Structure 1
Amino acid sequence: MDVSQNELISLPEELGTLEDLQQLDATNNRLRVLPPVLAELPALKKLMLAHNQLTQLPELGAFNLPPLVQLVASHNALTAVPPSFAGLIYLVELDLSHNRLGTLPSGLGGMRALKTLMLAKNELIELPADLVQSPPPLVSLDASENRLRRLRLSVPSLRTLLLANNRLESLELQGCAGLQELSAPFNIFGVLPSGMPYLAQLATVDLSSNKLTEVEQLSACASLTRLDLSCNELREVPPLLGNLSLNKLALSGNPLRTMPSAVLNGPTPKLLAHLRGKILQPPPAPPPSRPTHSVSASAPFQTETNSRPAPPASALDGLYSHVIKDGTELKVDGLKLTALPSDGYPETLHTILAASNQLRALPDGLSGLIPGLRCLDVSKNALSLLPFDLGSCPELQAVRVAHNQLRDLGFVGVVLSSLTELNADRNVLGEVPAALWLCPRLRTVSLCANKLTAASLHMPGGGAAAPLEYLDLGENRLGALPPLALFPRLREVHVQQNGIRELPVEHLMPLQKLQTLDISCNDVTMLPAELALLPVLQNLTIVGNAIRSIPQNVQQRGATAVLDLLKKRLPG
């Protein structure tokens, strides 16, 4: 019987006389209550009640004859489910989505035929223990848009799990060996759900818009074909992901500084090839002897003109990374050094590579020790201060100090005439010297994940600014888009996760060379149509905003579709 779309406010008691009725469709009415006679229909197998105004359901579990197989009660105002539902042992599909349920009754694990359970858009803070630990043979579970924080599932038959828009910080999946699809975007995961490497059939994963910092375990998910990790906090991507047979890999909206934007925003095959190219091969065995250009952190450098007998091969193995190549480069990455030598540097030295150590300070008088310094890389140390005289090195071109504890960039007290690159990501910088933006050769600035506001950038009000081509100010506290028009040569701009609400046209229109703009995970609600006038803009990342001016289906088709729509909205 079909009585749908009739604006009914009640169902007649005469329904109780229809002993052969197997299906009742009462969707899209105005029903507030259901008659008790529904419990007296001995053959009823399908009951469709969606899009009404129901606040409660009758005790349908009291049926004595063939019970329901399908019950759809979505889009109502239900606040509770009768405990007797546990007696619906033949129910295959239960749809309670789009209601106001705060809890579910215990005993649902006894519904031994249930394969599809839809609970999306309710107010659930947990699922009953018997449903997730001694479950029915569920194949599909949709608990999206609830208030779940932690979930531990042990459902071997489960194939599809949808958990988007919850508050999940932990998810255990060890008991879900048959899982094929996991969709859990817009949660607060800091680590991957546990058990994922053991899900041999897992093919589709969406963990976008979380707080993931590493995803190494996904490399073991050999069946993956679609993987969305956009808008997380990933700073690097495991190269072994390149070995997976992925049709889609989404990484936009992450602070991936080492990956070229053309690769990051390009087609998946190109991205996978890039990752495979970074897989390290085991190094060859070292030769039996080597020139003694080695250095010690506690002693002056030894050079060929001031040499010692070579140490035994076993000791020499640990000194290979100290070698000064032709007296120009010192490479001491990852050696757990707590200090650099305070003298003995060759006059020809111009490059220091000392990342991933435990340095707390650099030698005093650095500009006198290494007057020809061009490149300094002390990323991933414990530095809280840089020598002020670093800015006195006349040939200084690149400064890389990411992943430290720096509170300021005092060495840029004056305009540095040779500086071309500054990377100070992931420090605790509260402001930027105004002189930085006036360096005449500066092309790359990356200040991601600090504590900067738009005002504390101290960008000049006008005049000759640096010829910037790359600017990353993501994950700060800007609150507003900085005056990017000062830098008309910009090709790539990242301002994700900054609480930005508007995109002033006057800041963007002068950027006629802009190719990549990342405004993901902000508070932008409208995109100006003038963006479509930027002639070479091709990578526009807007996920994680509540942009009401662009339909979701257009946003999902990517930057080209968005820009095409904006172009149609241009006046004239």
Structure 2
Amino acid sequence: MSRLKVGAGRDPRAGFRAEKRDCCVSVPQGLLKAARKSGQLNLSGRNLSEVPQCVWRINVDIPEEANQNLSFSASERWWEQTDLTKLIISNNKLQSLTDDLRLLPALTVLDIHDNQLTSLPSAIRELENLQKLNVSHNKLKILPEEITHLRNLKGLYLQHNELTCIPEGFEQLSNLEDLDLSNNRLTTVPASFSSLSTLLRLNLSSNQLKNLPAEISGMKRLKHLDCNSNLLETIPPELTGMESLELLYLRRNKLCFLPEFLSCKLLKELHLGENQIEMLGAEHLKHLHSILVLDLRDNKLKSVPDEITLLQSLERLDLSNNDISSLPYSLGKLHLKFLALEGNPMRTIRREIINKGTQEILKYLRSKIKDEPSQNDPVIETAMTLPSESRVNMHAITTLKILDYSDKQTTLIPDEVFDAVKSNIITSINFSKNQLCEIPKRIVELKEIVSDVSLSFNKISFISLELCMLQKLTFLDIRNNFLNSLPEEMESLIRLQTINLSYNRFKILPEVLYRIPTLETILISNNQVGSVDPERLKTMENLITLDLQNNDLLQIPPELGNCVNLRTLLLDGNPFRVPRAAILMKGTAAILEYLRDRIPT
């Protein structure tokens, strides 16, 4: 009825004629009609330099169809149709918005990212129902004070603008859960941010912050804090009292030392790479009970404390490019899935061991622990004749939970090896450096307990179904074999996180890998891979490391740049011309940014 009143007292066709003249080219009438039914209008990528008046007045003016029909079906009763709640006008050429924005008071979502806006109209305060506002990738230098009146706002996205400050009263956004201020020119964070008590995610990366206010610890529900790429020299000790914090990113700053994370008991990921940290002590580690990822690459660390073993949940440890010459042997007791040591003057571990990857490094460290086998451990003789093959390492089975029959140059694994397990719980199998042509069938007997399997440096040419039945498998090393494909049945490995396929005969990235969503690390260097599917890689949300070095990639698809979850992408040694070596040397973030900039629009 409200729309009928607006139209009273004038020629209803006049409103239609104005609307058609304004919109006939840029906004099809069918799109407006559908928007009146759905409450949603998407005008993204239409080369608009201004928002047509008919869009602002979609809830006000009598539509074209009212002038063409004398009777209406239930689906065409325009006066009963919904008000616009979602408006997307991203990827256009808008330089400003008018105060006619107030004519859409029912909006809950307004997405105007990737335009050329230098300001927002003061009328934005009247969008009282707005829950999501995306103004990222524009040219905003200031925010209007009126934005603080959007009390129902839950998501505010302001990244990639030119903001130098935050308006007073920002703390009034009492329902805000997600705030992205990254890639601006901020030099300070208001202390009043502490009142954003509902905030779950705060992104302040790529600004010019020299410090964080101690009051930030008042965000009691904050789970994700990203301060990468700033000028931070210290972290306020109060930050360590943020009990809900799970992800903390502090990479590319100027930190020289760390605070003690006393109360961050839920912290799962701590990223401190590319700083100037010289010391890591027990006091920095002892409260990180839940930590899964610890990134310390590109710092100035000289040692790793024995107390590193306190981090019993740790899965990924990056110590690349420091000044570490030795590691505590106790590090081998951790159940790491990824350990990076490249770029350190390591003296106690041979380079060839480091090159073999995480599990070989851990195995080496464990072998150096002064823990002699018990005299009560039985020695099981096998039917093999060579001395090196004549016994099973029971100490490894009972103490380290490893079934180790490696470096025997045998063509088959004796039954006695599997028999030796008996009722013991083992988590790892190491049959590397033998002459195996196929995977031992009895491996299936361990399907409910084994999580790590190494079959590297053998002569295996196919993966048997027995391996695909290891339901708890998280780590699989089958490099240096004769493989050129993987079976579809590997899709059933629903916990697999790391797979090493280097030095085989693959010509494409095995299709089944795209269907294993838990994969975090794929190592497939030194094969003959000629192509990858960036769209399918993008769906692998957990994939962090992809090693494609020394393959046959003639070109790198720009869409690979959309795989923003990748933290390590290795492409050296392929015959493509771009990206050039200078880009590759800058690291993964630079490569992905370079590729994204070349995606056809």
Query: 2:361 — aligned with what?
Result: 271
The structure-2 alpha-carbon separation of the partners of 1:18 and 1:158, relative to structure 1 and needing over 3 Å to count, comes to: same
**Structure 1 SS opposite 2:254:** coil
Distance 1:60 1:171, change over 3 A: farther
- Which letter maps to 1:163? L
Answer yes or no: is 1:188 the counterpart of 2:272: no
Name the counterpart of 1:296: none
Partner deviation per Cα, 1:405-436 (whole Å, 9 max, x = no partner): xxxxxxxxxxxxxxxxxxxxxxxxxxxxxxxx
Describe the superposition over 1:330-353 as per-residue Cα deviations: whole angstroms up to 9, x where unpaired.
xxxxxxxxxxxxxxxxxxxxxxxx
Distance across 2 between alignment mates of 1:181 and 1:282: 35
TM-score (norm 2): 0.48
Pairs within 5 Å for 1:443-454? none
Question: SS at the partner of 2:573?
Answer: helix
Q: Distance in 1 between matches of 2:205 and 2:103?
A: 35
**Residues of 2 paired with 1:207 and 1:540: CA distance?**
24
In structure 1, the residue matched to 2:347 is 257
Instruction: Report the counterpart of residue 522 of structure 1 in structure 2.
Output: none
Partner of 2:226: 142
Aligned twin of 1:39: 125
Q: How does 1:395-544 map to 2 (within 5 A)?
A: none
SS at match of 2:139: coil
Matched, 1:127 2:244: no
Alignment partner of 1:78 is 2:163: yes
Report the counterpart of residue 14 of structure 1 in structure 2: 100
Partner of 1:111: 196
Specify the code of the residue in structure 1 equivalent to 2:103: T
CA contact (8 A) 1:24 1:46 kept: yes
Partners of 2:575 and 2:201 lie apart in 1 by 38
Q: For residue 313 of structure 2, what is the aligned residue in structure 1? A: 223
- 2:568 is the alignment partner of 1:556: yes
Q: How far is 1:61 from its partner?
A: 5.8
Indicate whether 1:174 and 2:257 are aligned. no
Q: 2:63 is matched with which residue?
A: none
Q: Aligned residue for 1:210? A: 299
The alpha-carbon distance between structure 1 residues 568 and 25, as it changes in their structure 2 partners (threshold 3 A), is closer
Partner amino acid, structure 2, of 1:242: G
Distance change in 2, residues 1:142/1:39 (3 Å): same
Measure the CA separation in 1 of the matches of 2:360 and 2:254.
Answer: 34
CA–CA distance in structure 2, aligned partners of residues 26 and 203 of structure 1: 37
Shift of 1:82: 1.1
**CA deviation after TM superposition for structure 1 residue 258, in Å:** 2.1
Once residues 556 and 134 of structure 1 are traced to their aligned partners in structure 2, the CA distance between those partners, rounded to angstroms, is 34
Identity %, equivalent residues: 36
Structure 2 counterpart of 1:4, from 65, 90, 97: 90
> In the alignment, is residue 97 of structure 1 matched against residue 194 of structure 2?
no
Q: TM-score, normalised by structure 1?
A: 0.50
* 1:6-35 Cα shifts (integer Å, max 9, x gaps): 211111111112221111111011110111
The CA deviation at 1:565 is 4.2
**Equivalent pair of 1:60/1:85 in contact (CA under 8 Å):** no
Shift of 1:175: 2.4
SS in 2 for 1:277: helix
Task: Report how far residue 123 of structure 1 moved.
Answer: 0.2
* Distance in 2 (alpha carbons) for counterparts of 1:28 and 1:569: 25
Query: Given that residues 32 and 55 in structure 1 are in contact (C-alpha distance below 8 angstroms), is that contact kept between their aligned partners in structure 2?
Result: yes
Partner deviation per Cα, 1:148-183 (whole Å, 9 max, x = no partner): 011132211011111110001122222211100111
Shift of the 567–239 alpha-carbon distance from structure 1 to 2, 3 Å rule, reads farther
Q: May I ask how many residue pairs the two structures share in their alignment?
A: 307
Higher-helix-fraction structure: 2
Q: Distance in 2 between matches of 1:224 and 1:150?
A: 25
SS of 1:141 mapped into structure 2: strand
> What is residue 510 of structure 2 aligned with on the other side?
none
Would the alpha carbon gap of residues 209 and 24 (structure 1) be closer, same or farther in structure 2, given more than 3 Å must change?
same
Summarize the Cα distance change of 1:136–1:17 in structure 2 as closer, same or farther, 3 Å threshold. farther
1:56 to 121, 130, 142: 142
What does residue 446 of structure 2 align with?
none
Change (3 A) 1:204 1:569: closer
Deviations 1:227-252 (A, max 9, x none): 11011111110111101111100111
Aligned: 1:198 with 2:257:
no
Q: What runs of 5+ residues in structure 1 fail to find an aligned partner?
A: 285-531, 533-538, 542-549
Aligned residue for 1:170, secondary structure, equals coil
- Distance change in 2, residues 1:43/1:145 (3 Å): same
- 3-state DSSP of counterpart to 1:24: strand
Specify whether residues 188 and 540 from structure 1 end up closer, same or farther in structure 2 by C-alpha distance, changes over 3 A only: farther
The answer on whether the counterparts of 1:71 and 1:93 sit within 8 Å (CA) in structure 2 is yes
Pairwise CA RMSD: 3.2
Q: 2:110 aligns with which of 21, 24, 39?
A: 24
C-alpha separation between the residues in 2 aligned to 1:9 and 1:20?
24
* C-alpha distance in 2 between matches for 1:147 and 1:569: 29
